[in-house]
Amino acid sequence: MSFTSEINRRRTFGIIAHPDAGKTTLTEKLLLFGGAIQEAGAVKSNKIKKGATSDFMEIERQRGISVATSVLAFEYEGIKINILDTPGHKDFAEDTFRTLTAVDSVIVVVDVAKGVEEQTEKLVEVCRMRNIPMIVFINKLDREGKDAFDLLDEVEQKLGLTVVPMSFPIGMGYDFKGIYNLWEKNINLFSGSSRKNIEETVEISDLESKKIDELIGEKAAKTLREEIELVEGIYPEFDRDAYLEGKQQPVFFGSALNNFGVRELLDCFIEIAPKPRPKQSEERLVKPDEKNFTGFVFKIHANMDPNHRDRLAFVKIVSGIFERNKPYLHVRNNKKMKFSSPNAFFAEKKEIVDISYPGDIVGLHDTGNFKIGDTLTEGENINYRGVPSFSPEHFRYINNADPLKSKQLYKGIDQLMDEGVAQLFTLELNGRKVIGTVGALQYEVIQYRLEHEYGAKCTYENLNVHKACWVEANDVKSEEFKEFLRVKQRYIAKDKQDQLVFLADSPFSLQMTQQKYPNIKFHYTSEF
């Protein structure tokens, strides 16, 4: 198959939503339809010990939530699909933001009963800033929930989207009979006492047909006709170009748990979703069909296999072909590197690949050379941007609880921080280590992983910090800068990249510092 047709048959997308909207279940079912797994794992049920395929960390299985983005690849109808299943919990939002730099499109999952929730709003905002094409999947239709039109209004108003329904529910909750698919013009019927079987898919060319009355009953048929007439009257027609530019969002209804509406979503997705797109680097726009390979690291994961203590850097291929054992330039370190066993992913199952194309995600074994945001090329000096560190919201001192294991503790902290789980600051005054996170749940994850993966124990101590600000001074030799360092020495730290950070203890103190030292800039992200 030619290089161009390999690119054209790839689709790389992320699944985003508020916790519990059913992201991981939807991922499972997409894999099921793709023939990648034989039986979907129950994400919540503890009775079934088989966990969800995309939740492979021990702590995820115990809690029933995703705490790290996982990468899954499978083939469907000749299309190679790469899914990035992201954590929905707001405490792990940073991992999700970084993942959004590596996807070409997104599926947003909304719970029919809860509607649009806070975390969904934040994530969709990031997608809108970057004009990422989005498809909305309204999930859990077999439960009692909001009216379909109310939900569509809510998605439009709260998320600022222009929606186009591609399917529409027949009834809701207990009256749920099936789905009318506007995209393919057919009806999927829901049947059986367990309500888990799709009895049949019936082609419907004309909504006035008496066949509908026979299938779902006269009352439901009358309601359906009225609703579809409303849909066609109110909402615009689907326009693929508008969708690709991020100006229009198709909406599907379904129930991932019961396999309902998932195949329709997948069939439409492979037809309309974008193939790998060009990416802006600091120097120029890089197109996927360029001959030379380029790619960037958007995630690092330590200990994917607890027995081997390995670290993997996840690289999104932007252009050219990535080949095993070929030397590539690590731009930041300016050194050539070869990779003898690049991996393709299927959650924690990995296979060695000889060749990968734009849109693919490969895992490279890393001995500490990579940081998030690093670029690999065939020799050209370019840097992909847009993988920032955000200012944390929670701060704690980390203390060693077992003095005999201090080496393991520091190694563990070092590796977990490279992964981007949290950020490490070292106080200039006394060298104490401070961990900053986006959410409080991170601390539990760090403690758990240090103990179970590195054999090290730690305790935390609260620290009153309002914000961490990266410091930029035009003149580091100026009297103003020296005075700032002297007066604020208790609050000055360095991050892992040795950048200077000011830990402001209150909004007032930050404001006063900014006024007192006008020539020093304070930034809320590390990319300034």
At 489-510, the pLDDT tens digits run 889 999 887 889 999 888 898 8
Per-residue pLDDT at 195: 45
Tell me the pLDDT tens digit for each residue of 417-433.
777 778 899 998 888 99
- Tell whether 236 and 133 lie within a shared domain: yes
Tell me the pLDDT tens digit for each residue of 194-205.
444 455 566 666
- Tell whether 75 and 205 lie within a shared domain: yes
Number of domains present in the structure of the chain: 3
Residues tagged in the binding site annotation for GTP: 85-89, 139-142
Domain boundary among 272, 299, 326: 272
Looking at the predicted structure, is the pLDDT value of residue 333 above 60? yes
Token pair 């990468």 is found at 71
Given pLDDT bands bounded at 50, 70 and 90, which one contains residue 363?
A: confident
Measured CA to CA in angstroms, residue 362 lies from 84, 172, 339 at distances of: 12, 42, 11
- Tell whether 195 and 102 lie within a shared domain: yes
Amino acid at 188: N
- Tell whether 367 and 422 lie within a shared domain: no
Give the least confident one: 9-13, 282-286, 394-398, 521-525.
521-525
Looking at the predicted structure, is the pLDDT value of residue 58 above 80? no
- Tell whether 372 and 410 lie within a shared domain: no
Given pLDDT bands bounded at 50, 70 and 90, which one contains residue 88?
A: very low
- Tell whether 288 and 231 lie within a shared domain: no
- Tell whether 169 and 293 lie within a shared domain: no
User: Does residue 89 form part of some domain?
Assistant: yes
Looking at the predicted structure, is the pLDDT value of residue 334 above 70? yes
Taking residues 263-279, what's their average pLDDT?
88
| % pLDDT > 90, the chain | 12
Domain boundary among 272, 305, 323: 272
CATH code of the domain covering residue 13: 3.40.50.300
User: Does residue 289 form part of some domain?
Assistant: yes
Q: Which domain holds residue 284?
A: 279-377
User: Does residue 386 form part of some domain?
Assistant: no
User: Does residue 389 form part of some domain?
Assistant: no
- Tell whether 29 and 137 lie within a shared domain: yes
- Tell whether 44 and 164 lie within a shared domain: yes
- Pair of tokens at residue 147: 């009216």
Between residues 77 and 45, which one has the greater pLDDT?
Answer: 77
Nearest to 128 by CA among 165, 162, 178: 162
Q: Determine the Cα–Cα distance for residues 301 and 138; give it in Å rounded to an integer.
A: 31
Token pair 């198959």 is found at 1
Q: Determine the Cα–Cα distance for residues 334 and 370; give it in Å rounded to an integer.
A: 12
- Tell whether 234 and 321 lie within a shared domain: no
CATH code of the domain covering residue 330: 2.40.30.10
CA dihedral angle for residue 183, residue 268, residue 237, residue 107, rounded to 10 degrees: 130
Per-residue pLDDT at 49: 35
CATH code of the domain covering residue 398: 3.30.70.3280
Residue 242: CB atoms within 10 Å: 16
- Please give the full DSSP string across 440-472, using - where no structure is assigned: THHHHHHHHHHHHHH---EEEEE---SEEEEEE
Per-residue pLDDT at 294: 92
Residues tagged in the binding site annotation: 85-89, 139-142
Domain boundary among 224, 256, 272: 272
- Tell whether 218 and 343 lie within a shared domain: no
User: Does residue 385 form part of some domain?
Assistant: no
The pTM (predicted TM-score) of the whole model is 0.75
User: Does residue 95 form part of some domain?
Assistant: yes
The H or E element that residue 237 is part of is none
User: Does residue 195 form part of some domain?
Assistant: yes
State the average pLDDT for the chain.
80
User: Does residue 387 form part of some domain?
Assistant: no
- Tell whether 341 and 475 lie within a shared domain: no
